[in-house]
């Protein structure tokens, strides 16, 4: 009978230590612990384990927070790297577009063409890209300081893609016109 009693007490010990058992169960456990050294030793080991468990949980929570913060830092760095590269490509496209436009206008002015005729040609497409510069610089200067929004990111991406497409088209048309000797 003593063995069964010890098994029952060992089943009740976690509830006893958590103060989750009934008054009768608590009294039964306390009576048994008063006369059974093995169950007292089991209780002491469980009490030490509970303390270790709390420390273990606290340590795991701390590590989990560190891992989450590290993941966020990596994601932000990757996003920043992409935006820096996109801004660099954008600056290069701006310089090339403005340079192509200035060269084309200079050539047309030297030939004495009227401004109406001048604006009818495709190589002036890069000058249209100025409107895209506004949204890009608002994003790069203003919104990057604040929290960036999905809309501003999409506007900047669309602007850069549109500028790249216009630059390619304008370059092809400009080269064709230069080769044709107009």
Instruction: Quote the pTM value.
Output: 0.38
Which residue in 134, 139, 99, 103 sits closest to 118, CA to CA? 103
DSSP string, 88-154: HHHHHHHHHHHHHHHHHHHHHHHTT--HHHHTTSGGGHHHHTHHHHHHHHIIIIIITTS---HHHHH
Structural domain spans, the chain: 70-180
The predicted structure's pLDDT at residue 165 = 74
> Tens digits of per-residue pLDDT, 33-89?
999 998 998 888 888 776 555 666 677 778 788 888 888 888 878 777 776 777 677
DSSP string, 12-30: HHHHHHTT-S-HHHHHHHH
């Amino acid at each position: 009978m003593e063995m069964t009693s010890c098994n029952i007490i060992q089943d009740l010990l976690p509830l006893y230590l958590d103060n989750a058992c009934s008054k009768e169960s608590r009294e039964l456990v306390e009576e048994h612990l008063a006369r059974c050294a093995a169950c007292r030793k089991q209780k002491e080991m469980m009490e030490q384990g509970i303390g270790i468990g709390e420390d273990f949980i606290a340590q795991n929570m701390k590590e989990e927070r560190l891992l989450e913060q590290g993941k966020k830092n990596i994601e932000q760095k990757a996003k920043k790297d992409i935006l820096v590269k996109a801004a660099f490509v954008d600056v290069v496209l701006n310089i090339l577009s403005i340079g192509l436009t200035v060269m084309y206008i200079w050539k047309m002015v030297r030939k004495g063409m009227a401004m109406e005729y001048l604006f009818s040609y495709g190589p002036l497409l890069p000058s249209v890209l100025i409107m895209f510069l506004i949204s890009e610089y608002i994003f790069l200067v203003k919104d990057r300081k604040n929290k960036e929004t999905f809309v501003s990111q999409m506007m900047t991406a669309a602007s850069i893609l549109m500028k790249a497409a216009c630059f390619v088209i304008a370059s092809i048309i400009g080269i064709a016109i230069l080769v044709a000797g107009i």
